Amino acid sequence: MLQKPRYHRFFTIKAVSNLEVDAAFPIGLLMLFKIRVLLGSVCMVNEVMSRQRAYDLQTKEIGYSEFWDIEMETMSRDKLLRLKEDKLQKIIEQAYQTPFYQRKFKEAGVSPSDIRTIEDLKKLPITTKDDIRKSQAEHPPYGDYLTVPLKQISGLYSSSGSTGQPTTSLLTFRDQEVVTERSARSYWAFGIRPEDVVQNIINPQLFLGYWFVHWGATRIGCSVISMGIGSSDRQLQVMQRYGVTCAFMTPSYAFHLAEFASKKGIHVRKDLNLQYIVLSGEPGGSDPVIRSRIEETWGVKVFDCPGMMEAMGWGYTCKEQKGVHMQEDHFIWEVLDPETKEPVQPGERGVLVLTTLETDAQPLIRWWTDDYVLYSEDYCPCGRTSHVFPGGILSRSDDMLKISGVRVWPSGIESALKEVNGFGGEFRIVKDSSSIRKETGALFKLKLQVECRSETDAVDFIKNVKDKIKAKFNITPEVELVAVNSLDRFEFKAKRIITK
Ligand SMILES: [Zn+2]
């Protein structure tokens, strides 16, 4: 019978919590103080012990369990629901300490004691990215929804600012621990084990996703190579030299790197030891076409790990690859119709809305993710009782575009163009064969048709347009000028993205 290796538990602070220390040594406050001072060194000792334990387990060839946390991952739905509702009350009280949520509760005419069940959550309004951005603009730099003093913060991360002002995410040490466990649980479900050599090819610059990989794979006990992005030559050298078995990268880069390797005479299926590619940072990881093309090209299993900076890794695919499992005990999820904000029916698409249950510093109540998912009541045959969204993230709401990892939206382009002298009033975003990668369908170039008034100097106008767009989105567009009024106008819901 397979046994679960429990050594990873020894990495957690939980294993040497104050509660256990208090229970083990109930000999007065003075002694407790001394013990807590020693906590750091106890953890280090445990980490060394846990590595030894991992080594022992491997050398004794004890098999691994399929589950990282069998109790949570296979908990009955009823028990899970009760657990989530217990956590909900705590997170509501915690959030209500902040002016941000006090305002929201007041606007809805609701007090924390009114929110007792998951059903009660509907009494509260949605929280959007714009709400967060406004809060951070009015109370710079962190906004007014931080529940802990800055001295309790152990990490600071930022969005790229491609959809407006960059937003900042702050993590307490406990938040970091929670994210680490969540990542480890995801990667374990993919099949990653302590003997794997993991190459992290995610952009590390202020980007929390990079650290999910580093912390999660380290927690499992893998050998983690922290490469970051860039230098395809070096990435391949490292992959070959160290026999890397698992790499984390974007779908676009997976295609690019395979092509680059081929030009260098490296056959990625035969000359490398890769067994898994985990896709992150772009949509497409759950798309069966993209996944199978990467699997075919590389000769590996491909997994998806969706999540956004604010909600920090809400799901993962298991070996069954039926869809994306929700990290159920850490989130309350809803799938809502984007217009009515009412729950959709089974078989319908809607926007995923998340309430965090294990986030200390910046809890989110009814967070509008902007991600479309398919609501289904089917469960996965892998044995996990958590909810599964077939196909993972299907698309983004609104007309949001992602161009080489940068999010661009038409109303943002419009506001930038309106600042340029000579703008004729209308424009189009052009998607054609020269701006879309044929393998993934992902945009890698921003192509614009822009109306320019006839009296304007064309060269100056194009330069000004490029400068304004670059300043707003950090991406330089390709600009084609067209005459004023040559593009259709709209009375309701402009459709400014055209596909040729
Ligand atoms: Zn499953």
DSSP H helix total and E strand total for the chain = 14, 20
| Cα-to-centroid distance, 323 and ligand 1 (Å) | 8
| Cα-to-centroid distance, 62 and ligand 1 (Å) | 23
Three-state secondary structure call for residue 184: helix
| Cα-to-centroid distance, 65 and ligand 1 (Å) | 14
| Cα-to-centroid distance, 385 and ligand 1 (Å) | 8
| Cα-to-centroid distance, 50 and ligand 1 (Å) | 28
Among positive and negative, which fits the CA dihedral 292, 198, 47, 87? negative
Phi then psi for 291, rounded to 5 degrees?
-60, -45
| Cα-to-centroid distance, 279 and ligand 1 (Å) | 17
Exposed / middle / buried, residue 1 (Cβ in 10 Å: 0-12, 13-18, 19+): exposed
Parallel, antiparallel or unpaired: strands 324-326 and 349-356: unpaired
Tokens of 24: 């083990």
**24 contact partners, CB below 8 Å, separation of at least 6:** none
Question: How many Å apart are CA 191 and CA 48, to the nearest integer?
Answer: 24
Q: What is the pTM of this model?
A: 0.70
pLDDT tens series, the chain, 500 aa:
333 344 443 333 333 333 333 344 444 444 444 444 444 444 444 444 444 444 454 444 457 899 999 999 999 999 999 999 999 999 999 999 999 999 999 999 999 999 999 999 999 999 998 899 999 999 999 999 999 999 999 999 987 655 557 788 999 999 999 999 999 999 999 999 999 999 999 888 778 889 999 999 999 999 999 999 888 999 999 999 999 999 999 877 888 899 889 999 999 999 999 999 998 776 556 667 678 878 999 999 999 888 777 888 899 999 998 889 999 999 999 999 888 899 999 988 889 999 999 999 999 999 999 888 889 998 899 999 999 999 887 765 555 677 877 767 776 687 688 788 998 888 899 988 888 887 777 788 899 999 999 888 999 999 999 999 998 888 899 999 999 889 876 533 456 888 87
| Cα-to-centroid distance, 496 and ligand 1 (Å) | 39
Question: How many Å apart are CA 388 and CA 405, to the nearest integer?
Answer: 26
CB count, 10 Å around CB of 73? Answer: 23
| Cα-to-centroid distance, 227 and ligand 1 (Å) | 30
